[in-house]
Amino acid sequence: MLASLALTIASSCRTAGSIPAATASPTISGPPASAYCLAPADHARAVHFGGLDGQVIGSGSIGVVLTNGSSNTACEFATLLPRLEAVSEFRTLVYFYQAMPDSITAAAQMLRSQGCHQVLLVGQSFGGAQTLIAAAKLKPPPNAAISLSGESATDDVRSLSVPTLILASEQDHYFPGATARQVFAVIPAVDKQLKVFPGGLHGADLFDGPQGEEALGLVMSFLGDHASPVTASPTQ
């Protein structure tokens, strides 16, 4: 199982002095880090972009956008976040996604403004469906997009050409395995993966279920494989 991921990144970040500082301005207000289920040890920095509040964790040159579902709580990613934090090359954004137009695009642009030349998108439930829609339109495109039980329709993904991973559950009431397979089949991306787990767990709850370690491993491996054109190798 991946405890951490060591990535060799070549020239992913702009030169010093040409990008905004990685730390947020002390004048930025918003929900405290605890509202995102973050602790002081996470060293999160508050950010505000596109009318949204968020927190950035890590200082790497590869941006990871985590988009929550309709419950609008960033705590949904509490199980995944420590795995992301263990990768020093990642700079992860958690934020309160409120289904505002172009929110995911604004999130990606904010990370790019901090110097990230590579961006990876991860969304769960409703946020997963919107992540795939955004991934098909975003310019420059993300390196990869991951949907955790995102309630996508086939028409949502017909122009999705970036590397895509979809996780789903066979008996999920919102996005059952049969629907996941139909959606997956029409995605034109050459590099795509689908994993349908038994049971009915939905979204990020997959990380806490019986196959949680497998789900986490699939996500981390996919992110690592697409974070850089060079080889990504796991370390113990």
Tokens encoding 168: 């789903």
The pTM (predicted TM-score) of the whole model is: 0.86
Residue located via tokens 């929110």: 103
Kindly state whether residue 14 falls inside one of the protein's structural domains.
Answer: no
Question: CA 63 to CA 120: how far, in whole Å?
Answer: 6
Structural domain including 83 reads: 42-67+78-226
Kindly state whether residue 146 falls inside one of the protein's structural domains.
Answer: yes
Q: What is the pLDDT of residue 73?
A: 86
CA distances to 128, 139, 158 from 10, rounded to whole Å, are 29, 21, 32
Q: What is the pLDDT of residue 100?
A: 80
Kindly state whether residue 212 falls inside one of the protein's structural domains.
Answer: yes
CB-CB contact of 81 with 56 (8 Å): no
- Write the CB contacts of 178 (distance below 8 Å, at least 6 apart in sequence): none
Question: CA 79 to CA 74: how far, in whole Å?
Answer: 11
Q: What is the pLDDT of residue 4?
A: 41
The 3-class SS string of the chain reads CCCEEEECCCCCCCCCCCCCCCCCCCCCCCCCHHHHCCCHHHCCEEEEECCEEEEEECCCCEEEEEECCCCCCHHHHCCCHHHHHCCCCEEEEEECCCCCCCHHHHHHHHHHHCCCCEEEEEEECHHHHHHHHHHHHCCCCCCEEEEECCCCCHHHCCCCCCCEEEEEECCCCCCCHHHHHHHHHHCCCCCEEEEEECCCCCHHHHHHCCCHHHHHHHHHHHHHHHCCCCCEEEEC
Q: What is the pLDDT of residue 12?
A: 38
Tally of structural domains, the chain: 1
Q: What is the pLDDT of residue 10?
A: 33
Kindly state whether residue 128 falls inside one of the protein's structural domains.
Answer: yes
Kindly state whether residue 15 falls inside one of the protein's structural domains.
Answer: no
Kindly report the number of other CB atoms within 10 A of residue 72's CB atom.
13
Kindly state whether residue 58 falls inside one of the protein's structural domains.
Answer: yes
Residue located via tokens 């997959």: 206
Q: What is the pLDDT of residue 27?
A: 53
Query: The CATH number of the domain where 184 resides is what?
Result: 3.40.50.1820
Kindly state whether residue 8 falls inside one of the protein's structural domains.
Answer: no
Q: What is the pLDDT of residue 194?
A: 98
- The tens-digit pLDDT sequence of the chain (236 residues) is 333 444 433 333 333 333 333 344 445 668 999 999 999 999 999 999 989 999 999 999 999 999 999 888 889 999 999 999 999 999 999 999 988 879 999 999 999 999 999 999 999 999 999 999 999 999 999 999 999 999 999 999 999 999 999 999 999 999 999 999 999 999 999 999 999 999 999 999 999 999 999 999 999 999 999 997 443 444 33
CB-CB contact of 24 with 56 (8 Å): yes
Kindly state whether residue 96 falls inside one of the protein's structural domains.
Answer: yes
